[in-house]
Amino acid sequence: MYNIPKSTDKNPYKIPFQRGMATMYFCLRSSIEKMKSETTNIIIAEDHEIFREGLKMVLGKMKELNIVAEVSDGFELLEVLKKINTHIILLDIEICGTQGFESIKKIQKTYPDIKIIVLTMFNDNEVLSKIAKTGVHCFLPKNSEKKIIKRAIHLVIEGKLFFPLHFNEYSNNLNFTAMKTTKILIVDDDIDVITVIETILSKKGYEVITAMNKEEGMKKIREENPDLAILDVMMTTHYEGFELAKEITEDPELKNMPVLMQTSIEVLITTRPDVQEMAREFRKNPGFKDLHVLLVKDIITGKAGIDYLSEKGKTVWFPVDGFVAKPVDPGKILPEIEKVLTARKN
């Protein structure tokens, strides 16, 4: 039980603020605990001990995975599958010898719900096509980077397919598409918030990069070229997130990158497509003119923007692609991200 301290401060907003922060903490903690309980059982089927140990190190850092067994040959794999509930097999196809493809078909027939990720040293397109046609969810070269392996596993958990990008030219003749993972940047100075959002997005197959302030965020944008950025408002300064968003929207090289602002501030809804003009109208209203921040969104077109008072008392306006409410709700953040990404593609 957590007690919210009583305040002797006469400020009427202090106690509600403390309670709000406590509520946000409990929601974050609950989300993290729930995610920890949702684990995926995975078997590593690999006969090279050094490579197997390397895989264990990579997978061991993925909290949503539970390595339930390690095997070094096809016969041992089939025996283990009889005893252990398994969701994914990370399979070196060479451990099955000349019967590799038949072994995959046998596993699929006996355990249709198990997803198979094939690891291979083969780089011959004919062989890769044959592997893909077996119906596995993914195949990866053994020299794949750690982040590629992680992204592939996250996508497979979601029931999606993942194949190397260089295989694109062959995918048109098969029943799958080689996938390019969407990269999302999270800029927030709260590590708990970052952890929650990163876990939610990673499980959906997004590649996540993070930063904890404006400078680091802009550096990551320049280096990583993300497909979308989710920015917190208050970091080192009150409006640091706004300042970063404004820089992005005004930069000719970056302005096409979607930006979502993460905030607990209430969004003012309108049906006017000119949201900047609507913000000006709100400012004329006595009930809104003294507010430091106005978040405005047109529910018809989806256009959104922010009007805030600078330290010098001047109004500053810039457009954004939408807002993400705090505390984080997977049921709201994911549809918002997908909607924004789809809108930008169109």
| pLDDT at residue 21 in the model | 45
Question: For residues 29 and 18, is the Cβ–Cβ distance under 8 A?
Answer: no
In a shared domain, residues 150 and 209:
no
Both 211 and 163 in one domain: the answer is: no
> Which segments of the chain have a pLDDT < 70?
1-38, 96-100, 123-126, 164-180, 289-290, 346
- Shared domain for 192 and 212, answered yes or no, is yes
> Looking at the 3D structure of the chain, how many domains does it have?
2
| 315 & 189 share domain | yes
Q: How far apart are CA 179 and CA 139, in angstroms?
A: 12
| Together in a domain, 275 and 240 | yes
Do residue 165 and residue 218 come from a single domain? no
Q: Say yes or no: 83 and 153 in one domain.
A: yes
- What is the secondary structure of 266-306 as a DSSP string? PEEEES-S-HHHHHHHHHHSTTTTT-SEEEEEETTT--EEE
Reported residue count of the chain is 346
For 284-338, write each residue's pLDDT tens digit. 887 776 678 889 999 888 899 999 887 777 888 999 999 998 888 888 899 999 9
55 and 194 inside one domain: no
Identify whether the C-beta of residue 248 lies closer than 8 Å to the C-beta of residue 217. no
Determine the pLDDT at residue 119.
86
Any domain includes 338: yes
**338 lies in which domain range?**
183-345
- What tens digit of pLDDT does each residue of 170-217 get? 444 444 444 457 899 999 999 888 988 988 887 777 888 999 999 999
- Chosen domain end from 147, 171, 195: 171
Q: How far apart are CA 52 and CA 61, in angstroms?
A: 15
Q: What is the pTM of this model?
A: 0.56
